[in-house]
Structure 1
Amino acid sequence: MLRSTWRGLPAKRHEAGWEPGLVAPAADGSPLVTDHYFPRAEGDFPTLLIRSPYGRGLPWSPMYGLLFAEQGFHVVLQSCRGTGGSGGAFDLWRHEAADGLATVSWLRGQPWFDGTLGTVGPSYLGYVQWALALEPPPELKAMVVQVGLHDPHALFHAGGALHLETALAVAATMTYQHQGMAAFLRATLRLQRRLGAATTAQPLRGAYVSALGGQVPWLDDVMSYPDAEDAYWRGASTAESAERLRVPTALIGGWHDVLVDQTFGQYERLRRAGCETSLLVGPWTHTSALQQGWPEVFAESLAWLRAHLCDDPGGLRPTAVRVHVGGEDAWRNLDDWPATPAATSWYPAPGGHLVRQAPTDRAPLTSFRYDPADPTPSVGGPLLSRTAGPRDNGTLEARDDVLTFTGPPLTEPVDVLGPVSARLSVSSDTGHADVFTRLCDVDAQGRSVNVCDGLGRLRAAANAPSEITVPMSSTAHRFAVGRRIRWQISGGAHPRYARGSGTGEPTVDATTLTPVRITVHTDSALMLPLGGPG
């Protein structure tokens, strides 16, 4: 079935066996239900530990259990505490470090465990790897973090805004996927039907219950504590594990993945620590990396694990970094990331133009009215839904509350390789505003497609010009000859981000919606890291 779904998977080396329903004790003694996949062959084989809150059935059993066992690995697929039949209560992130170490202790008593351990997995399965790496056991010899999480706060909050649609999607997945695919599908369809009501309610607090089919206590907490310094988030981020890690670690991300910025943060920390690492970034969303991208993701993961667990480095590529370049639909091997350390400035100009010449003043340029009762909708980008990724922005850009500044048709290709940002000089008549900023590629027919974006929050005196810098994620994108570079600015992207109320009230408790007039000043700048041909 797997080989008919994905072309390019390697031929299996062994038949795979399955030993389901084993029990490993958690740190507090709670039973953690564990399935063991293994190659049906004589000899010693390294072990892969995969700990998941999403269950042990589809897609984890075939994609991770069977495929890796066929390639010559013992695979331990375990349900996290409080999920998939395991005992105890699931509490987002709080038990993973201790339960991971307890599981390794259990592994040491298994007759088939030869003392060589690796980890692999996506999303929260990446988080449990970083949690184990906080105090890495001596047996841990390699990690593969695929579209992985290390900072829960950053997943749910950015620039002061709540990632509302992502929070609801994560809650549905965490609550239902480990109950089986049928339960998860029903929950997903219910969330789609009721998303509008859940994201426009006043107040937002508790409004998700009908959309998710019940209360999710950890989601209430996540939505209630937007400040990363709040005690609630203490110990949530495992970023420090990468700052001193010596375990060879491969990182895999997608340009439209909700966690791609965390992947780049992981890479930067590992390189700074001198840890052996590699980075692969494809043209994927969070989910498509494990769907359309699975042949590349699996091959990258397998090569890294064989090199560091089996002393077989033949499959490794010659460079540390490999990225897919949008606009030319090609892959490039790079020595490091970011490929271009410096950024160039592009400025908004009268008439909706985008120019390279710096302005001579910081005068008001243009303004628009953002009405939270009719919030600017989100279109594409890094989401957890089917609408994620690059999308036609034409309908969005036709709205009165969306500004666009567009450069002339290019006479030679322009490569953007690295982190993109906006330095915005803005003011608002209430002093409270969100500013969403996006880089787009416009073709010869005028079709505008999103490349990368970000959101920042303005808090200032009414009508007072303020400068805010908005990170817009990173990209590897070629703007081809004849294309135009477009900078899009608006007051939000709902329901991807919870809408700003215009009053400064806390997001989950706001009951008053006040329209805001946002003014963009001439000294604003779009910062693009330009690179040469690769």
Structure 2
Amino acid sequence: MTSRMHGPAPRPARKPPSGKPPLASRMLRATWRRLPAKQHDAGWEPGLMVPAADGSPLITDHYFPRAEGDFPTLLVRSPYGRALPWSPMYGLLFAEHGFHVVLQSCRGTGGSGGAFDLWRNEAADGQATVSWLREQPWFNGMLGTVGPSYLGYVQWALALDPPPELKAMAIQVGLHDPHALFHAAGALRLENALAVGVGMTYQHQGMAPFVRATLRLRRRLHDVTTAQPLRGAHTSALGGKVPWLDDVMTHTDAKDPYWRGASLAQAAERLSVPTILISGWHDALVDQTFEQYDRLRRAGCETALLVGPWTHTSALQQGWPEVFAESLAWLRTHLHADPSALRPTRVRVHIGGENVWRNLDDWPQATSVSSWFPTAQGHLTQQPPTDSAPLTSFRYDPGNPTPSVGGPLLSRTAGPRDNGSLEARDDVLTFTGPPLTEPLDVLGRVSARLSISADTGHADVFTRLCDVDPQGRSVNICDGLGRLRTDGQEPSRITVPMSSTAHRFTVGHRLRWQISGGAHPRYARNPGNGGSPVDATTFTPIRMTLHADSALILAMPAHHAGLRPARNS
């Protein structure tokens, strides 16, 4: 085992005091199936005080293998507390597989001192914790990090200036850009913002307060998201003021000084620490994961990618056996020098529609581009239009906003859903292809090239790809939102990114392209008059007109370049 690379020569490893992990954690651990067999019993050393960068005490629990030997360390820093589910998922499980696990509450949470901030303290506090680790007799100089969501953000914060001991990272459904979590194309991701507000305010207090707060928000979600104005309306649902939530909701521009230092994208641009990235096709942060992977590859960093059929939360529930096994294999490879469980390819993705996993050499794959065009009859065809004439129009009323159905959210309503009731609305356009006579694979980025006008000059456009089965059930695959600024007469030509996917449309299924003026409360409704969505008290209905030279753009494997479905009937 490699010795530490910083400071004095390592002391002989000392076995920590041998306390059993919490009973609740052991009980939850006993319910999990399909996990790798444990190698050791785990011990627990709770309530350690680690000094933050400013001296504030960071409350820390230490899990460890109850065995003789020299074991590497995993650092897990969290604003969500150290009890369920983090204690069994990270402390207990990884200790059973031969790791010291340092599970720490970020400042201002879980009993730690100081005040919590969404991003301004994590880099310094992570470095301070590594300095503390260097003084522990059981620390052998081999360090890894692991964790999901904001627990991924703190990993990127440490990677801004990676300590020499850091040898591996496992970032699961991870965040690196808080602005992009709260905003898209100038629109507020309202439902995500409220979910983050509940999580950051209550989860570190324990499961009971968190569940009560979540249920309270669910009951009051309609009132909060339709309030006029929106600013401050969350107070009753969240049980009090959350000052930072108003701040992130009202600072829409990523270049605003408010967001200075929030994005940690630069960490991946020069990183050499082996890093695995894990996400789900319906994860609210999946686009950030693909950005991270692209930057790591361009930097020449050793990296791997796993994308499953999950949402942000189901990746840690139904997907946990795969997520844990992949993370464990990566960390054992780089911290234990044991590559026996490592998969042979850099990328592994789940193929929707076909419901299989596929190993790939890289992402994105070499692809061809397939363009699909709308017709006035509601068809979707590969025949290009002959002009750019107006095709059809619809009326978007922010007083009765088009609702959101499924998709990449942080809430329980995320994921693939039946879009039938949504598509029956007058304010939703649908264009549907013919039944396929051969399977059609979409593998990579999806986007919409839109030629569209809005009579008020101000509008959002929401665009979605769906899979329609032979029984007519329409299920969302991926989507995106763009913001229009027009003179009300001439169409605005914009390209709306619709994320990426790996999906097979099987024989008899049809592609459907869905277009509307919003998806509420996933996004705050556009007032239609140029006003701020957060402060608006008046709303103006919008007449939106789609032009014929619009197109749905699909990335397809190169072998599909000549594939053509049957003609429209």
* Corresponding position: 1:457 with 2:483: yes
Question: Residue 58 of structure 1 aligns to which amino acid in structure 2?
Answer: L
SS at match of 1:237: coil
User: In 2, distance between residues paired with 1:395 and 1:488?
Assistant: 13
| Offset, 1:340 | 3.8
| Offset, 1:342 | 3.9
* Corresponding position: 1:57 with 2:83: yes
Matches within 5 A, 1:386-465: 386-465=412-491
Question: Residue 219 of structure 1 aligns to which amino acid in structure 2?
Answer: L
Contact kept? 2:176, 2:263, Cα under 8 Å: yes
Contact kept? 2:367, 2:558, Cα under 8 Å: no
Contact kept? 1:6, 1:294, Cα under 8 Å: no
Structure 2 match to 1:6: 32
| Offset, 1:343 | 2.2
Structure 2 match to 1:252: 278
The partner residue of 1:263 within 283, 286, 289 is 289
User: In 2, distance between residues paired with 1:33 and 1:329?
Assistant: 43
Question: Residue 261 of structure 1 aligns to which amino acid in structure 2?
Answer: D
* Corresponding position: 1:330 with 2:356: yes
* Corresponding position: 1:88 with 2:97: no
User: In 2, distance between residues paired with 1:200 and 1:497?
Assistant: 11
User: In 2, distance between residues paired with 1:250 and 1:533?
Assistant: 29
User: In 2, distance between residues paired with 1:79 and 1:284?
Assistant: 27
Structure 1 match to 2:314: 288
Unaligned runs of at least 5 residues, structure 2: 1-26, 561-569
| Offset, 1:159 | 1.2
Q: What is the alpha-carbon root mean square deviation over aligned residues?
A: 1.0
| Offset, 1:247 | 0.0
Matches within 5 A, 1:254-403: 254-403=280-429
SS at match of 1:509: coil
**TM-score normalized by structure 1?**
0.99
Structure 1 match to 2:495: 469
Q: Deviations 1:117-155 (Å, cap 9, x if unpaired)?
A: 000000000000000000000000000000000000000
User: In 2, distance between residues paired with 1:344 and 1:245?
Assistant: 35
SS at match of 2:395: strand
Structure 2 match to 1:141: 167
* Corresponding position: 1:151 with 2:163: no
The partner residue of 2:94 within 40, 49, 68 is 68
Contact kept? 2:29, 2:88, Cα under 8 Å: no
* Corresponding position: 1:224 with 2:239: no
Give the length in aligned residue pairs: 534
| Moved beyond 6 Å, runs of 4+ | none
User: In 2, distance between residues paired with 1:171 and 1:55?
Assistant: 15
SS at match of 1:396: helix
SS at match of 1:278: strand
SS at match of 1:315: coil
The partner residue of 1:123 within 139, 149, 159 is 149
The partner residue of 2:512 within 477, 486, 501 is 486
Structure 2 match to 1:15: 41
* Corresponding position: 1:518 with 2:544: yes
Q: Deviations 1:288-330 (Å, cap 9, x if unpaired)?
A: 0000000000000000000000000111111100000000000
| Offset, 1:346 | 0.6
Question: Residue 159 of structure 1 aligns to which amino acid in structure 2?
Answer: A
| Offset, 1:156 | 0.3
Contact kept? 1:376, 1:492, Cα under 8 Å: yes
The partner residue of 1:212 within 238, 245, 267 is 238
Contact kept? 1:422, 1:469, Cα under 8 Å: yes
Contact kept? 2:368, 2:558, Cα under 8 Å: no
Q: Deviations 1:404-437 (Å, cap 9, x if unpaired)?
A: 0000000000000001000100001101110000
| Offset, 1:360 | 1.2
Structure 2 match to 1:189: 215
Contact kept? 2:368, 2:557, Cα under 8 Å: no
Q: Measured at CA, do residues 340 and 420 of structure 1 come closer, stay the same or move farther in structure 2, by a change above 3 Å?
A: farther
SS at match of 2:176: coil
Unaligned runs of at least 5 residues, structure 1: none
Question: Residue 227 of structure 1 aligns to which amino acid in structure 2?
Answer: D
* Corresponding position: 1:202 with 2:228: yes
User: In 1, distance between residues paired with 2:491 and 2:550?
Assistant: 11
SS at match of 1:267: helix
Question: Residue 279 of structure 1 aligns to which amino acid in structure 2?
Answer: L
Q: Which moved more, 1:1-10 or 1:304-313?
A: 1-10
SS at match of 1:14: coil
Contact kept? 1:97, 1:128, Cα under 8 Å: yes
| Offset, 1:73 | 0.2
Structure 2 match to 1:497: 523
Structure 1 match to 2:139: 113
| Offset, 1:283 | 0.2
Question: Residue 414 of structure 1 aligns to which amino acid in structure 2?
Answer: L
| Offset, 1:3 | 5.6
Question: Residue 487 of structure 2 aligns to which amino acid in structure 1?
Answer: A
Question: Residue 355 of structure 1 aligns to which amino acid in structure 2?
Answer: T
Question: Residue 476 of structure 1 aligns to which amino acid in structure 2?
Answer: A
User: In 1, distance between residues paired with 2:250 and 2:323?
Assistant: 36
Contact kept? 1:415, 1:533, Cα under 8 Å: no
Q: Deviations 1:444-486 (Å, cap 9, x if unpaired)?
A: 0110000000000001111221101100010000000000000
Identical counterparts, % of pairs: 80
User: In 2, distance between residues paired with 1:197 and 1:343?
Assistant: 43
User: In 2, distance between residues paired with 1:207 and 1:184?
Assistant: 20
**TM-score normalized by structure 2?**
0.93
User: In 1, distance between residues paired with 2:188 and 2:367?
Assistant: 30
User: In 2, distance between residues paired with 1:191 and 1:65?
Assistant: 30
